[in-house]
């Protein structure tokens, strides 16, 4: 018998994959629109870039959470005392 945790994990993975493919599709649609001559204002481009970057960070955090690892903050360099 399979565990409910395994089914839940697969369901979450499918949902995350659907989100990723949706984001890729949106990026392709915008790219094709620009390639066909549509103009994009700098503010629109910046907003879209922030949206895609935020989605990438969210997806990475969820993947780490699912793997059992917490996202880590960047390490700071420590100075040695002489």
Q: Give a yes or no: residue 74 inside a domain.
A: no
Q: Give a yes or no: residue 59 inside a domain.
A: yes
Query: DSSP E strands: which ranges in 1-82?
Result: none
Q: How many CB atoms lie within 10 A of CB 8?
A: 10
Q: Give a yes or no: residue 76 inside a domain.
A: no
19 Cβ contact list (under 8 Å, min separation 6):
55, 59
Instruction: Give per-residue pLDDT as tens, 53-67.
Output: 988 888 888 888 877
Q: What is the pTM of this model?
A: 0.55
Among 2, 19, 29, CA closest to 63: 19
Q: For residue 51, what pLDDT is reported?
A: 86
33, pLDDT greater than 70: yes
Q: Give a yes or no: residue 19 inside a domain.
A: yes
Q: What residues make up the domain containing 51?
A: 4-67
Q: How many CB atoms lie within 10 A of CB 59?
A: 14
Q: Give a yes or no: residue 33 inside a domain.
A: yes
Q: For residue 36, what pLDDT is reported?
A: 93
**Number of domains within the chain:** 1
47, pLDDT greater than 70: yes
Q: pLDDT above 70 covers what percent of the chain?
A: 74
Q: Give a yes or no: residue 73 inside a domain.
A: no
Q: Give a yes or no: residue 72 inside a domain.
A: no
């Amino acid at each position: 018998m399979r565990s409910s945790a395994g089914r839940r994990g697969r369901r979450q993975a499918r949902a995350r994959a659907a989100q990723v493919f949706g984001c890729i599709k949106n990026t392709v649609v915008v790219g094709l629109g620009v390639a066909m001559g549509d103009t994009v204002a700098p503010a629109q481009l910046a907003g879209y870039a922030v949206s895609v970057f935020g989605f990438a960070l969210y997806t990475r955090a969820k993947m780490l959470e699912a793997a059992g690892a917490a996202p880590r903050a960047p390490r700071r360099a420590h100075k040695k005392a002489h």
